Amino acid sequence: MRIILVGPPGAGKGTQAARLVERYGIPHISTGDMLRAAVKAGTALGKEADAYMKAGDLVPDAVVIGMAVERIGEADAQKGFMLDGFPRTRPQAEALDAALSAAGVQLDAVVLIEVDDSLIVERITGRRTDPETKRIYHLKFDPPPAEVADRLVQRKDDTEEACRARLAKYHGETAPIIPFYEDKGLLKRVDGVGSPDAVTERLVAALGG
C-alpha cells in the first residue's frame, strides 16, 4: 500500500497515520524524520540538506524529493509506505509525481481526511496541557478532573489566532494538491468527524480493506 496522507492541521492525521502503518505493515515516512535520518547517516543528500539547514535556509524541494525517492527505495518500503507532511504544495506534488514515475513507483492512493474549519478551531483551541504530567486534555471532548484544572495551560500553537493562521496556510498552499491528485484518480476523501475508531474504519474502507 503506497499512500500519501493529506489533511488540515487538527484533522487527526497523526492518530490515523499510526493506525494505518500498523495495519498495513508499512513505514511512516515524514519529511522531518527523513531529513534527520539522512543527515545522521551522512548521505550525499543528507550533507546537502544539512548545509542548507545550518545556513538557516529551507531545504530545496529537489533535495527533499531526492531523499523521499531514496527512502522509498529502502528494504522496509518495498511492500509500501505512507508519506506524511509532503508534498505541501502543488509544485512539490508535480515534482514528486515525476520523480516517482522515473523511479517506477506507482502510488495506490492519496487519502484526504476532511474536517470543517469550524470544528478544527474547536478541537485545537479547546486543548489544554498539564505541565506536570504532560497529559493533554480537551475542555469539551476530554475534560480534565477538577483537581488539575487550575494548572492547565494552553500552548501558543493552540490559540485561535495561531490555528486560523495554520488553516489559512493549508488552504493557500496545500489544498491545491487535492485537484492535482483528483485528476489522476488517486484521491480518496474520508470524513474525519467522529471517534478515532470510526475514522479508521472509513479510511480502511476507502483503501479497500
Total structural domains within the chain = 1
Distance CA 45, CA 53 (A): 12
The per-residue pLDDT for range 83-140, each reduced to its tens digit, is: 998 999 999 999 999 999 999 999 999 999 999 999 999 999 999 999 999 999 999 9
Active site residue 127: yes
The answer to whether 107 and 2 are in contact (CB under 8 A) is yes
Catalytic option among 2, 13, 71, 128: 13
Active site residue 155: yes
Catalytic option among 19, 36, 88, 164: 88
172 part of a folded domain: yes
Q: 190 is in which domain, residue-wise?
A: 2-199
CATH code for the domain in which residue 136 is found: 3.40.50.300
205 part of a folded domain: no
Catalytic option among 127, 128, 188, 202: 127
208 part of a folded domain: no
160 part of a folded domain: yes
pLDDT band at 32; cut points 50, 70, 90: confident
Active site residue 13: yes
With residues binned 3-state (H G I as helix, E B as strand, rest as coil), the percentages for the chain, rounded to 5, are: 55, 15, 30
59 part of a folded domain: yes
Report the relative pairing of strands 2-6 and 81-84 from DSSP bridges.
Answer: parallel
47 part of a folded domain: yes
